[in-house]
Structure 1
Amino acid sequence: MKKIITLLAIAGLLTLQSCTTSGSFENDLIPVAKSEVFEVTTSFNYTNNYSRLITLNPPIYSSDIVLVYRLTGITPQGSDIWKLLPETHYFADGTLDFGYDYDYSSTDVSVFMVGNNLQTVSTNYRLNQVLRIVITPASFSKAIDKNNINAVMSALNVDKNQIQKIDL
């Protein structure tokens, strides 16, 4: 019995030792998702139905998660203030005034406004809106505080010069 176990152990070691990879095994078989950040400035109005379709290249994999942030202001120290979508704004009585939301497919992200009377929303909220789109593998994003864009960028090891600007 000991000889059989020893023989199987040696055969197993030889089999495993003969397996080698070129170092790109993962790249050859499966697309390796990497995090990317895009920035776009857009306006929402009646001519575009208060929505914007943003085409992305490379494709978004089904295992990716997409986060969209809107620049909402600047701190007194000059730092950007970003808010994760969906974002809602309410009237004083608690009813919905307007908001922003998004959805995505494998090739694009659609960002749109929601509300009952969007043409009455202040131009401060409709025109020249700066959006950041973050694409990251879903498994990686579980450990990130998604509400804090600085934490997301830091965890993904992406700095400002790596943000890809999209012109619409």
Structure 2
Amino acid sequence: MKKILLFLFLGAVGFTAYSCDKDDDVVVQQGQDTINQAFDISPTFTKVSDNLYRWKDNFNSPLVQSDMVLIYMQIGTEGGAPIWKLLPYTYYVGNVNNDAVDYIYEFTKNSATININSTNTFSLTANPSYYQNQNFRVLILPANGTGTGKSAKGNAVDYNDYKSVIKYYNIDESKIKTK
């Protein structure tokens, strides 16, 4: 009888050890779940110089360390739907100097900033259409633990492709509000 119990015990331990693997890409940290957030903004930029305008906003609550922020700029429409371009984005003005306007963002756990810079020969102050009435979409997303931008199946997420990001993070665009 003791031998049967011993074999049953060893069998159960062996089965349990065999069924474990290290391919689990999902990491859950209790109390630190991030809920996808998305909102639209039409910010008022503050003049820093003729060639630099800035917008900064604080988040309602600090981000979790693994959160990431993506900011997309609306660069046009197609069939009535907005076309979103991930920042940083450089727009070439098309003049003889080949001047450019750069849209750049940065974020901390407490805030996000958008900077609009132009080349020295192109004054943003004289060309307000590059910083006035611009629409941006801010996405606050949980970054995976490895920072690789890959799903559990190994498929890469192309953050430059707005539609792929929305699909991957299951964001309902009909619920996106303007801040």
Query: TM class by shorter-chain length?
Result: 0.7 to 0.9
CA separation of 1:79 and 1:87: change in aligned 2, threshold 3 A: same
Counterpart check, 1:97 vs 2:103: no
Secondary structure (helix, strand or coil) at the match of 1:129 reads coil
**1:36-75 matches, cutoff 5 A:** 36-46=37-47, 50-75=53-78
Distance 2:8 2:125 in 1: 79
Question: Partners in 2 of 1:118 and 1:43 — Cα distance?
Answer: 14
Higher helix share: 1
Q: Is the 8 A contact 1:146 1:152 kept in 2?
A: yes
Match of 2:83 among 74, 81, 92: 81
Give structure 2 stretches of 5+ with no counterpart. Answer: 16-27, 151-155
Amino acid at match of 1:66: V
Q: Gaps (5+ residues) in structure 1?
A: 14-25
Matched residue pairs, number? 151
Change (3 A) 1:132 1:3: same
User: Per the alignment, do residues 11 and 73 of structure 1 end up closer, same or farther by CA in structure 2, a change over 3 Å counting?
Assistant: closer
Indicate if the aligned counterparts of 2:68 and 2:140 stay in contact, CA closer than 8 A: yes
The one of 123, 127, 136 equivalent to 2:128 is 123
- Runs of at least 4 residues of structure 1 off by over 4 A? 1-13, 91-96
**Would you say 1:35 and 2:36 are equivalent positions?**
yes
Change (3 A) 1:91 1:73: closer
Aligned to 1:22: none
Q: d(CA) in 2 for partners of 1:154 and 1:84? A: 16
- C-alpha distance in 2 between matches for 1:11 and 1:82: 54
State the match for 1:151 in structure 2: 164
Report the RMSD for the aligned CA atoms in angstroms: 3.1
Deviation of residue 56 (structure 1)?
1.8
The CA distance in 1 between the partners of 2:41 and 2:92, in whole Å, is: 26
Using the TM superposition, give the Cα deviation of residue 57 of structure 1 relative to its aligned residue in structure 2, in angstroms.
Answer: 2.3
TM-score by length of 2: 0.69
Kept in 1, the 8 Å contact 2:124–2:130? The answer is no
Q: Contact 1:65 / 1:137 at 8 angstroms: preserved in 2?
A: yes
Aligned partner of 2:24 in structure 1 is none
Q: Tell me the amino acid that sits aligned with residue 84 of structure 1.
A: L
Give yes or no for contact 2:48–2:54 (8 Å, CA) kept in 1.
no
Match of 1:20 in 2: none
TM-score (norm 1): 0.73
Match in the other structure for 2:176:
163
